[in-house]
Amino acid sequence: MSVNLPQPQRLYCWASPVTGLVLLLAGAVAPALAAETGGVISLRDAEIRMAPGLPTFVHRAVEDLRTVIAQRIGRQPETTPADTSDRTGTGPLIEVGLTPWQKVADSLPTADRSRAEAYVLTVEAAPGESGRPVISIAGRDEQGLKFGVIELIRRLRLEAGDVAVASPLRVVG
């Protein structure tokens, strides 16, 4: 007994030379537009600042972040003391635990304000006068900081020779 199966249909799409040129230009212009509008921020020259006195598990999460970045760009981002509020510099600044929870909690729904292990991850292309991209992780407690760093790692765009993150971005967890 033989079964006759339908033959797959062949679809042909003929594009005109003008369509091909438009598609070629769109492919070349789209990354430039994304970079110009702040669609992604490269972490190639990132600097990490951590609040003093954080527990070991937060330091381990930050070390995981540094390792992921180093695997793509060949070196770990610099970690600087958090004893300064100076945001001047050239590369993105990753702040872990430097933004007080009360500052970000005011904009959260009431249920998220007092929830244990809550965090807010914020990516801004160029806040303030410095023009320096800032990635801020605020946690209601130390566990929230750890989960905020893990969320940043999850949201990284890993590319050949670079690591980037979408901007603007605000994640409440």
CATH number, domain at 150?
Answer: 3.30.379.10
C-alpha separations of 159 from 27, 37, 40, 69, 72 in Å: 17, 19, 12, 10, 7
- Whether residue 25 lies inside any domain: the answer is no
In a domain, 32, yes or no: no
Q: Is residue 70 part of a domain?
A: yes
> For residue 156, what pLDDT is reported?
95
Is the predicted pLDDT of residue 103 greater than 90, yes or no? no
By percentage, how much of the chain surpasses pLDDT 90?
42
Q: Establish if 35 belongs to a structural domain.
A: no
Number of domains making up the chain: 1
E strand or H helix at 65, and its extent?
Answer: helix 56-73
pLDDT in the model for residue 71: 93
Sort residue 53 into left (φ over 0), alpha (ψ -120 to 50) or beta: left
**Residue 127 resides in a domain:** yes
Q: Does any domain span residue 29?
A: no
Top pLDDT among 33 and 43 is at 43
Domain of residue 137 covers 40-172
- With bands split at pLDDT 50, 70 and 90, how would you rate the model's confidence at 110? confident
Average pLDDT over residues 136-161: 93
Q: What is the mean pLDDT of the chain?
A: 77
| pLDDT bracket for residue 84 (50, 70, 90) | low
In-domain check, residue 165:
yes
Is residue 153, in this structure, part of any structural domain at all? Answer: yes
39 has pLDDT over 50: yes
